[in-house]
Structure 1
Amino acid sequence: MTLRSTRSTVTFSNPFTLSGYPDELPAGEYEVLVEEELLQGLSFEAYRRTATQLTVRGRGSHAGHTELRAISENDLTKALSRDQAKTETNYHSDAALSPPKEQK
């Protein structure tokens, strides 16, 4: 069985949560590790995703610890979509769009 791993980075602009984990994670960059296996017996090369993990760095009394959290691709996509929607809502708020008042 041939395996491959791909690492990428995702950025959250706001604190977020993931399905299956009770704690809120802070905004920032997170590394995503995707593991896939080669499908055998096909006339072309194809891989099947076997795992997706998010690297979470410890904070406070857990500083220096790193945890790999098993997540689904769907949960990660939903969390990123919620983050983007929250960022757009904040960006388009009345306070952000109001011109500054003139000082006399």
Structure 2
Amino acid sequence: MNTRSSRSMVTFTHSFSLPGYSDDFPAGEYEVIVEEEALHGLSFEAYRRTATYLIVQGKGDRAGHTEMRPTTEKDLDATLGRDRAFANDANASEAALSPLEDLK
């Protein structure tokens, strides 16, 4: 079985939670590792995702520890979508609260 891994970075602008975990994660940049396996018997090269991990750096008494938190692509995408929506709502609220210019 041929496997491959890829790494990417995601940024959360607000604290967030992931399904399956009781703790909240602080806003910031996180590394994501995706593992895939080759699909054989096709006339072209194709891979199937087998695992998605969010890399979490320990804080406080866990400082110096790094954890690979298993998640799903669906849960990670949904969490990023909520973060973007929250940021867009916050920006719209701030714009709505800005003072109006005097029109002359």
Q: Do the two structures share a fold, i.e. TM-score over 0.5?
A: yes
> 1:46-96, CA deviations, whole angstroms, 9 ceiling, x for partnerless residues?
000000000000000000000000000000000000000110111110x44
CA distance in 1, matches of 2:95, 2:44: 52
Structure 1 residues not aligned, in runs of 5+ = none
| CA distance in structure 2 between the partners assigned to 1:88 and 1:41 by the alignment | 45
User: For residue 42 of structure 1, what is the aligned residue in structure 2?
Assistant: 42
RMSD: 1.5
TM-score norm. by structure 1 comes to: 0.92
TM-score by length of 2: 0.92
Q: Partner of 1:92 in structure 2? A: 92
Q: Which aligned runs of 4 or more in structure 1 are off by greater than 4 angstroms?
A: none
- Shift in alpha-carbon separation, 1:100–1:60, aligned structure 2, 3 A: farther
Q: Check if 1:83 corresponds to 2:88.
A: no
Alignment deviations for residues 16-39 of structure 1 (CA, whole Å, 9 cap, x no partner):
000000111000000000000001
User: Superposition pairs for residues 1-104 of structure 1, below 5 Å?
Assistant: 1-93=1-93, 95-97=94-96, 98-99=98-99
What percentage of residue pairs aligned between the two structures are identical? 58
**Aligned residue pairs: how many?**
101
Letter in 2 for 1:92: A
Query: 1:67 and 1:90 mapped to 2: Cα distance?
Result: 31
Q: Which amino acid aligns with 1:83?
A: D
Q: Distance in 1 between matches of 2:22 and 2:100?
A: 40
SS at 1:42's partner residue?
coil
Which structure 2 residue ranges, 5 or more long, are not aligned? none
